[in-house]
Amino acid sequence: MSEKIYIFDTTLRDGEQSPGCSMNLQEKLKMARQLERLNVDIIEAGFPIASQGDFEAVQAIAGEVREPTIAGLCRANRMDIERAWEALREAYRPRIHTFIATSDIHLKHKLRRSRSEVLEASVEAVKIARDLCEDVEFSAEDATRSDIDYLVEVFDAVLEAGATTVNIPDTVGYSVPGEYGALIQMLRSRLSHHEHAIFSTHCHNDLGLAVANTLTALERGCRQVECTINGIGERAGNASLEEIVMMLRTRGSILPFYTDIVSEELYAASRMVVNLTGSFVQANKAIVGKNAFAHEAGIHQDGMLKNAQTYEIMTPQSVGLKSSSLVLGKHSGRHALLRKYQDLGYELSPNELHRAYFFFTKLADQKKEIFDEDLITIIQDGIKTIPDTYKLKYVHAQGGNQQLASAVVQLQQGDDEFVATAHGDGPIDAIYKAIDRITGITGRLLDYNVSAVSRGKDALGEVFVRTRFGGIGYTGKAASVDVIDASARAYLNAVNKALYEAGRLEREAPRTASA
């Protein structure tokens, strides 16, 4: 039968205390609310004696976030514990989490205390905490580098003193899975008072093994996992919550465990950590990285289009993403391109697809990623014939250094003709304003380029414009012996593309909405 694993989230304590990850009170509250939506079992909200800010954050979270247990960290001494309790006492389900190091390295160089002094302090701390709170966790910092007999002695004593959870941290991420699993198993077999206690795992990622060690600990009897969103934490970080949760969910058939996490909230939690701390997630990070559900290789995209299970072991929706993405780049194939065009609302004939693919591969050689706008430009510039909604009948513009530039434009739309005049910062600007007046859509000119395409005084001039209408970019070009005429028609070319696209989107809208 599947057993429940308690998720102890320490993003706001171990995560927040790592370089560049600090958050203020409002940010911590916001994060705690998201952790509640995620349905974590325990939120370690901070280390109340560490600072006034930490104290207030733990107190605020304890007062507001009611569903999960709220834990506060404290060293193994009365002052720390009482301060933690002061911050936690309003919590609906408070937990005091007290810790002390047990390895000789820490005892000798950091604490400068003997083993018996640390043993005594541990027991004393748990007793003080238990007098205040029913739920007390004890952590033996640097457990994985501690003398095993001594560790047994300390854990036995704190369990007897009333600790309800015992945590076995791999504080410096030094363990490898077999070794860590053996330690957990040995502790469970040698400790005498643990029938009702929960064993907890807390792994750091210095050797990239935090999640692997955590999994082994579960297999050997731990039922609480300490972890953080995006794996943030001291140095190389802590075990990543989303990886553990999705591992248990995805491999449930061979891992007889479950969590109560609402996995659909994982992506939102991950983005929130990034937004609040500015600590970015690498693109290839499991579960929440930008590429975790993105496919570029042609063979993969082809497989994905036939059946997503070919290359995805979990659905993007299960972690809170809308869909997988087929990233168009130089490794993409025709199938993916065709699908992308269909998604954009274009049905291409085999011949059109053939030509579009030719331009696409040329562009993909120059650009790392191809965006929707690039694809639209490929279509509009060479593949599909865009109807001329408006045709230029007449243009006249004048300017000069002593007079305000002005233009008169006459356009034809079907059987109708329209005339407009405008002033502008130069004759070209005046022409474009006059055109906007007739069409009723206002464009922004981003680039204007004129070049001669033949020789001599009567050379054919080609005008190329880059414009933006309603947030979408359109190019336009036209050639003429008269540069004023070419300029007007180049802009009109872009306008006609924008009008065609707007009409197409409008025609597509009901279809997309009901799909």
Instruction: Tell me which residues in 309-348 interact with ligand KIV (CB under 6 A).
Output: none
171 touches ligand KIV by CB under 6 A: yes
Instruction: Tell me which residues in 93-152 interact with ligand KIV (CB under 6 A).
Output: 99, 139, 141
- Residue of 88, 254, 159 lying closest to 168 (CA atoms): 159
Of 9, 11, 14, 29, the one binding ligand KIV (CB under 6 A) is 14
Closest CB to Zn ion among residues 14, 80: 14
237 touches ligand KIV by CB under 6 A: no
Collapsing DSSP to helix, strand or coil, 249 comes out as helix
230 touches ligand KIV by CB under 6 A: no
Closest CB to Zn ion among residues 14, 436: 14
Pairing of strands 416-424, 405-413: antiparallel
Closest CB to Zn ion among residues 14, 135: 14
Cα separation, 398 vs 406, whole angstroms: 6
Cα separation, 312 vs 22, whole angstroms: 34
Run of H or E residues at 338? helix 334-344
Using CB atoms, what's the residue nearest to Zn ion? Answer: 14
- Residue of 418, 326, 433 lying closest to 370 (CA atoms): 326
Residue 17 interacts with which of Zn ion, ligand KIV, none, CB < 5 to 8 Å by class: none
Shortest distance in whole angstroms from residue 226 CB to Zn ion: 7
8 touches ligand KIV by CB under 6 A: no
14 touches Zn ion by CB under 5 A: yes
169 touches ligand KIV by CB under 6 A: yes
Residue 44 interacts with which of Zn ion, ligand KIV, none, CB < 5 to 8 Å by class: none
Terminal CA-CA length for the chain: 41
- Residue of 289, 264, 246 lying closest to 5 (CA atoms): 246
Instruction: Tell me which residues in 364-393 interact with ligand KIV (CB under 6 A).
Output: none
Cα separation, 214 vs 147, whole angstroms: 21
202 touches ligand KIV by CB under 6 A: yes
User: What is the 8-class DSSP label of residue 97?
Assistant: E
Cα separation, 450 vs 365, whole angstroms: 27
Shortest distance in whole angstroms from residue 497 CB to ligand KIV: 59
Shortest distance in whole angstroms from residue 258 CB to ligand KIV: 24
Residue 99 interacts with which of Zn ion, ligand KIV, none, CB < 5 to 8 Å by class: ligand KIV
Looking at residue 335, its amino acid is: H
The answer to whether 405 touches 426, Cβ cutoff 8 Å, is: yes
Residue 6 interacts with which of Zn ion, ligand KIV, none, CB < 5 to 8 Å by class: none
DSSP strand E in 284-415: where? 294-295, 325-326, 391-398, 405-413
Cα separation, 295 vs 326, whole angstroms: 5
Handedness of CA 301, 302, 303, 308 (dihedral sign): positive
Closest CB to ligand KIV among residues 170, 302: 170
Q: Kindly determine how many residues on this chain lie close enough to bind ligand KIV according to the rule CB under 6 A.
A: 9
Question: Candidates 12-20, 64-72, 242-250, 474-482 — which segment interacts with Zn ion by CB under 5 A?
Answer: 12-20
Maximum distance among all Cα pairs of the chain, rounded to whole angstroms: 101
Q: Which residues bind ligand KIV (CB under 6 A)?
A: 14, 99, 139, 141, 167, 169, 171, 202, 204
Q: Which residues bind Zn ion (CB under 5 A)?
A: 14
